[in-house]
Amino acid sequence: MSLLDSLKWRYAVKKMNGTKIPAEKLDTIIEATRLAPSGFGLTPYSIIVVEDEETRKKLLPAFYNQAQVVDGSAVIVFAAWNTISEKEIAEYMQEIAAERGVAVDTLNDFSGAINGSFKNKTPEQARVWADKQAYLALGFALVAAAAEEIDATPMEGFKPDAVDEILGLTALGLHSAVAVTLGYRDAANDYLSGAKKVRRAPEKLIIRK
């Protein structure tokens, strides 16, 4: 399928059929998600992959009983950092230095710019910024899933505090920002299967200047 055909094929599935996704496909989707860009490249989130059935059953009420959480094969929660401090930025500089084989001191201007940017943000603004980066990763996961012909339901319909509690996110300095369930559509029992895609018309949506 072409990229556009894959994107027309995908939809936010409401009813999945319980079939497990092959491990290689799940790994490909996760790796594509890991390759998502982020502001400064900081990647201020973790990708929590929940395949375990018991854990997904626990998550079900926190997701307002959205059936795909248990009828799918995996739930991925994008868990953003609660705080962004000099410590996380210094760790990131170490990662760049190691990957690119440069001395960490050569990155002082870059780390100074990042630190400066966050000094100008309130903790709430930094949290919103981290959430935005997590949403971008969600977008990559959705496109990758479609390319792999795996169904995916993006989800922000959940109680973040309950999800954080079940997955132990607070202790990791994280909070649930957005999620996606991966699996296979149960076309016969999904009222949205086969429904025409509704998008704003190009002439309304796209403004060319």
Ligand X SMILES: Cc1cc2nc3c(=O)[nH]c(=O)nc-3n(C[C@H](O)[C@H](O)[C@H](O)COP(=O)(O)O)c2cc1C
Looking at residue 179, the DSSP 8-state letter turns out to be: E
Per-residue exposure over 32-61, b if at least 16 CB sit within 10 Å of its own CB, e if not: bbeebebebebbbbbbbbbbeeeebebbbe
Nearer to ligand X, 100 or 197 (CB): 197
Start-to-end C-alpha separation, the chain:
32
Q: Which x/- pattern, by CB under 6 A, does the window 165-184 give for ligand X?
A: -------------x------
Kindly report the backbone phi and psi dihedral angles of residue 21, in degrees, each rounded to the nearest multiple of 5, phi listed first.
-80, 135
Q: Which x/- pattern, by CB under 6 A, does the window 46-85 give for ligand X?
A: --------------------x-------------------
CA dist., res. 50 & res. 73, Å (int): 9
CB of 116 to ligand X, least distance (A): 30
CB of 152 to ligand X, least distance (A): 9
Per-residue exposure over 120-145, b if at least 16 CB sit within 10 Å of its own CB, e if not: eeeeeebbebbbebbbbbbebbbbbb
Interface of this chain with ligand X, residues 9 to 28, rule: CB under 6 A: 11-12, 14
Nearer to ligand X, 107 or 177 (CB): 177
CB of 41 to ligand X, least distance (A): 23
Does 141 bind ligand X (CB under 6 A)? Our answer is no
- SS3 state at 197: coil
CB of 71 to ligand X, least distance (A): 12
Residues that bind ligand X (CB under 6 A): 11-12, 14, 66, 153-157, 178, 197
